[in-house]
A and B are shown apart, each in its own frame.
Chain A
Amino acid sequence: MNSTQIAEAAADTADPRAGLRAVTSLRALADALELRQVEAALRAGMTWQQIADALGVSRQAVHKKYSKRIDPSIVVPRRAS
C-alpha cells in the first residue's frame, strides 16, 4: 500500500467510532516502535542527548520517558558532564 492509499484509508470517516479506536492502536504501534529504536540506539552507544536530538525532543523528556522502560540489561553510559 502506498502513502496515498494509507492517507485514504486513514481518512475514511464512515465509522468515526471505529476510526478513533484504530488511532489508539496506531499510537501503541508508534510507542512500541519508538521504544525499540531507543533501545537499539542505546545498545549502539548513542547518548540520551543524541537520541533526544534525533527524536526532536529534550534530553530530559526522552530520559524521563525511557530510562526505566528500556531493557534493564542495557548498559547506559553516564552523561559526561
Chain B
Amino acid sequence: MNRVSRIIATSYDLTVAASEEASRFGVRDIEVEHVLLALVLDDGPAGRALRSTGITLHAARKAVADQQREQLAALGINTELPGDGRIRPAFQSGHEWTDRATKLLSDSGSHGRKGGTEAVLRAALVERSGTIEDLLRRLGTTPGEIASRLDDAPDDPSSGPSADGRLSRTRTVFVPAPVDAVWDLVADPEQLPEWDMNLARVRAEHHAWIGETRTAAPDGKRLKVRPDTVRQAISRTIADEPRHVTWEMSYPDAPRANRRRIAIDIAPAPGGSHVTVRFAWVRGPGPAGLRRLVSPLTRFLARPVVRIALWVQVTALTSAISRTLRDG
C-alpha cells in the first residue's frame, strides 16, 4: 500500500469509528478526543500501544466524559453533553472534522511521516491544546510512555500480502469484546441483519434460513435490488465454535447469480479479539446464451469496480460487527 492510499484508508477507518464514538455524546463534529477513542480501537501498532498500557474503550470513553464534565463545571455549568450513549451509525455524510482534529490527519502524512494510524497517534501525542495529554493522564499514562511503546513495537505483522483472489477481500479488525461475545453475535442467524447490512431480516423455514435483501437504506432511500435477488437462502457451512464461522448466501430465484460467502475468524487479543472477515463472491454458472460469449470481456472491464465493491463490502461488515459489539 502506498502512502496516499494508506492515508485515505486511515482517514476512512478513523472517520467511521470516531464519528460513531462522537455520536454517543450527541455531537457530529469529530474532535481530537474522538480520534483518540478511534485509535484505542485500531488494529495496528497505534491501538496495540494504547491498549498495552491497560487502556480500554470503556475507560477512555469515561475519561472523555469526565474531562468534558469538569471543563463545563469550571465554567459554572453543571451538565453533560446530551448524548444517550447509543451509537448512531455513520451512514450519512454529516460528520465533519474540526480544524484541530483535521490537523492530526494532515500532520500524519507530512514531515516524512508515512501516514497510517501510528502516525496519527504520534501527531496526537504532541497535540497542542493539551486535550490528549490530559486524557492520557486521566488514563494513568503519558504521551511519553505511549511514544516509547510505539518506538519499541515490532513491525506491523498485518501488512503482509493477503491471499485474496479476484473475487474476495479479507480484513482484520480489533473489537473490544471477548471471543465468546463475538461468536454469539456472528454465529447466530437471527442476528445476521445486525451486521450484514445486505439483509433486512432472517427467518427460519423448514430447517433452513431465508433472508430478505434490504431494499431501503437506513435513511429511507430506496436501494436498487433485482427482484430475483430479494430472497436469499442462508446456510452456515462451517461452524467451529468459538473461532470460525462461514456463511453462504445464495439466491434461489436467480440460480445463475454469484453467491456471497462470509468467513469469519475470531482470535483472542489483549483487551478484546481480532476479527478477520473474508468476503467473497462465489461464481455461479453465469449468464446463458449470447451474454455468455461477452462475459469474459465484461468481467475484465469490471475488475477495478469489483475490487472497490469488495473493499466496500468487507469494510461494511467489519465496521458493523465492531459497532454492534461497542453499542449499548
Contacts and interface: CB of A to CB of B under 8 A. Distances in A.
| B-side interface mostly | loop
B297 interface: no
B134 to A, nearest CB: 8
A24 B29 CA distance: 12
A21 B131 contact: yes
Nearest to B88: A71
Contact of A28 (B27, B88, B130, B220): B27
Given A31-B29, A32-B82, A68-B92, A19 B74 contact: yes
Interface string A36-59: 100000000000000000000000
Interface in B14-54: 25-29, 31
B72 A31 contact: no
Contacts of A36: 26, 82
A6 interface: yes
Interface residues of A, number: 33
Nearest to B68: A25
Contacts of A18: 71, 74
A17 B74 contact: no
Nearest to A3: B76
Give 7 nearest A-B pairs by CB, closest first: A72-B219, A9-B76, A69-B94, A68-B94, A6-B76, A22-B71, A25-B71
Interface of A: 1, 5-10, 12, 17-19, 21-26, 28-29, 31-33, 35-36, 66-73, 75
Given A28-B29, A72-B218, A73-B219, 7 more contacts: A1-B77, A18-B74, A29-B68, A31-B27, A31-B29, A32-B25, A73-B220
